Amino acid sequence: MVSHLTVAMIAFVALSAVLIGVLAIVMHMRHKYSPNLIGALIGALMCFVLLETIPALI
């Protein structure tokens, strides 16, 4: 059985990915692109995944 902590971490990562996608869509609609902001958000998400989620799943 999967622990509640694992489910919560996976849900957080999925929610973060959705929020980054929504941010990219909004910036595309307004024609205001900020590659630095998108890069920072993706970097922060990947940092969280590598440092927190993966060791907790193992």
Residue range 43-58, pLDDT digits in tens: 877 787 777 766 766 6
Answer for the pair 13, 38: CB distance below 8 angstroms, yes or no: no
Range of the domain at 16: 4-57
Q: What is the pLDDT of residue 30?
A: 78
Q: pTM of the full predicted structure?
A: 0.53
Alpha helices in the chain (DSSP H): 4-30, 35-48, 54-57
Q: What is the pLDDT of residue 6?
A: 78
d(CA 15, CA 40): 17
How many domains is the chain built from? 1
Q: Residue 26 has which token pair?
A: 């909004």
Which residue positions in the chain have pLDDT lower than 50? none
